[in-house]
Chains A and B, each alone.
Chain A
Amino acid sequence: MATYDFIFDGLGLREWCDKDATAGPMSMADLLAQGSGKGADGGTDAGGGSSGVSLWELPFPSLDALNKACPAVARTREVTKGVESGFLDIKDSLKVVLDPVTQPLSWFLEGALYAFQTTPWFIMIPLLLAVVYFASKSFKLVGFVAFSIFFLAFIDHYNFAMQTLAIIFVCALLCVLLGVPIGIAMSRSDTLQRMTIPVLDMLQTLPPFVYLIPLIFLFSVTEPKLYGIAIILYAIVPVIRLTDLGIRLVDKEVIEAADAFGMTDRQKLYRVQIPLALPNIMAGVNQTIMMSLAMVVIASLVSAPGLGVLVLRGIRNLELGVGLIAGLGIVLLAVILDRVTKAALARVNAASAVQRNS
């Protein structure tokens, strides 16, 4: 009947096939084909009719196609089902470990959200401007930030912006606290580097939405750590990579000098490697902050508060104005965060400019 019948017939497995048929539920495609009265075979072409099908239309021997010929073979949906049930099986034991470990994240996020929102604006805004000045030492930038925040506050987006900032603050801080030591460890061990890089590659290329799917199963959607973890996983990559790179790029002769003067590993790390890698580490922090901002918008799908919620509302209810204004707010935040961290980076660079006269 089906294209690949000959394999199973040829191997003498026909009996096994028919005996042990996986009588799963019909696929949607089958159902549709039945409804239109064409019969299962003609509908999808996946099985391919035994007659009248040219070689040109030979289907790939996928699980579904083989299943047509031999019902004992599992269908593709069994694979996805297997992954799902496998995940659900280990979910409970994973939760036992992950729940307590990640609980502080929820507290941090809740705390930060509370602090950013309950501090009155007339304290919060000057405080933010002071931080900007401290990081950049540039009045021009402070002016721009002041203008942006006042604009957002003027159009009643102040609270949303503060929620977004609070989440980014906590997540980026944790990224740095976790990422820098991981980067340092990677720079010291080639084995660890080889093992870590594929993981980082995966974290970086996995579409942001995909992070959310398993997390939804693991944690309750009402808990802030759900989106916290998603943001951290997504945003931690650059700071790890650039810390590792920065330390590996430290001038070999300077490291040699450090050894020649009898520095211990710890002295070398704090006196030489970290200070000399700082420009790279700061570039990593900048990237990490920008990526947290990108993710915090997507995380609004799983109840992350902030400007992302408004964007989501714009999409869901087709409220064009709401979505665009919120988008503008996000752009303003992005520009602020980028400029401030870049200005800080430039100051670090200026302080440790290495000029080789060789």
Chain B
Amino acid sequence: MNGAAAMEKTVKLSIRNLYKIFGPDPRRALEQVRAGVDKPELWEKYRHVLGLQDINVDMKNGEITVIMGLSGSGKSTLIRHVNRLIEPTVGEIVLDGENIIEFGEARLRELRRKEMSMVFQHFALLPHKTVLDNAGTARSVRGEDRSSYEKDARGWLERVGLGGQEGQYPHQLSGGMQQRVGIARALTSNAPIMLMDEAFSALDPLIRTDMQDLLLELQTELTKTIVFISHDLDEALKLADHLVILKDGMVVQQGEPQEILLNPNDPYIVDFISDINRARVLRVRSVMDTGLDAAPAVAGTVDADATLESVIALSGGDTALSYAVKRNGTHVGYLDMKKLVRALVPTAAARDGMRNAKRRSPG
């Protein structure tokens, strides 16, 4: 879940040189794109929509990869390439060393049944089936008997907080509860990869926070490979082990969220992160000193994964203090409060209107 451990994880799923162009003759338009034509020009001159352009993303086993972007940035298109609900114009999707773009129909179906599950923005439950049957959808599609999946389905429904509601129909549940069914459905399938397409975007803010907590809690025990689509930066920062920021079908920046927050490489991202509460998102590990020769006088100990906000609360706002940083009991560095405050200074700002420019010409 953190930087050091991630290094050891293997790449489970990898998207390579992926292009998607919508239009009558995408192959020819692709040549134009490779020759340097950009999205607006491709539309003006050739009447093709550039959906995705040269996407390269590695998703590691057991990590949550969040793909973030505004509407129209191509994030939903991208996630649909992973299970080939949309076919790429060109490119590879490599799962455990195999390019799934080359899979035939039968193998693709097998892949969708066993390797991947998906959670949808508007839940996409079957309205004529009970909650229990919905949760068991993936398994019954594989041809399993009800008896073989019922226990699992009940277990997962219980786990997502829907114990006792198995006999109800989706329309009898609230939005948040319906999405819990959606998650239980994905979990019951036992697939190692979970695709979540704006899974929490249709929910109220409070319920959304609940669901995010639920997902993180489940993830600590399941360690599935999760691809999560979001347009909400707070959500993305909260969930992501690996954050990919998309703009106009291109990856603008990707990496550890803390890293992106501290070193944004694009005005678009600077603009994005200017609104967020940095103290709540940044963690001690991102701003601590690891290579100090002499140990300063410390006022106490903090955890490496603690948020800066919690450290500020701990210090009572006193910038003269320093703290020792520990992870799982071992000492990993020191945190100087002055450095902490410096990290809270917004990156050279974006108030002057990147976003306003964007509003004028939405991407």
Contacts and interface: CB of A to CB of B under 8 A. Distances in A.
A355 B171 contact: yes
A356 B122 contact: yes
B202 A254 contact: no
B112 interface: yes
B116 A357 contact: no
Contacts of B83: 260
A261 B120 contact: no
A353 B171 contact: yes
A262 to B, nearest CB: 4
A267 B85 contact: no
A353 B141 contact: no
A261 B170 CA distance: 18
A172 to B, nearest CB: 24
Given A260-B83, A261-B138, A353-B171, A276 B127 contact: yes
Given A256-B85, A260-B85, A261-B113, A267 B118 contact: no
B128 interface: yes
B141 A263 contact: yes
Interface in A265-312: 267, 271-272, 275-276, 278
A261 B169 CA distance: 20
Interface string B96-131: 000000000000011111101110111011111000
A352 interface: yes
Contact of B126 (A271, A355, A357): A271
Contacts of A354: 127, 171
A110 to B, nearest CB: 38
A253 B120 contact: yes
Interface in A230-255: 251, 253-254
B126 A275 contact: yes
A259 B112 contact: yes
A257 interface: yes
Contacts of A358: 121-122, 175, 202
A253 B122 contact: yes
Interface in B111-168: 111-114, 116-118, 120-122, 124-128, 137-138, 141-142
B308 to A, nearest CB: 35
A355 B124 CA distance: 11
Size class of the contact patch on chain B: 20 to 34
A351 interface: yes
A352 to B, nearest CB: 4
A262 B109 CA distance: 5
A191 interface: no
A347 to B, nearest CB: 12
Contacts of A260: 83, 85, 112, 116-118, 195
A357 B120 contact: no
B174 interface: yes
B127 A353 contact: yes
B189 interface: yes
A259 to B, nearest CB: 6
B128 A276 contact: yes
B178 interface: yes
Q: Which of B83, B111, B171, B174 has the most CB of A within 10 A?
A: B171
Contacts of B171: 353-355
Contacts of B80: 256
B109 A256 contact: no
Contacts of B121: 253, 358
A259 B118 CA distance: 10
Closest 4 CB pairs of A and B: A357-B175, A262-B113, A262-B112, A257-B124
12 contacts: A253-B121, A256-B85, A257-B124, A259-B112, A260-B85, A260-B116, A260-B117, A261-B118, A262-B138, A275-B126, A276-B127, A353-B171
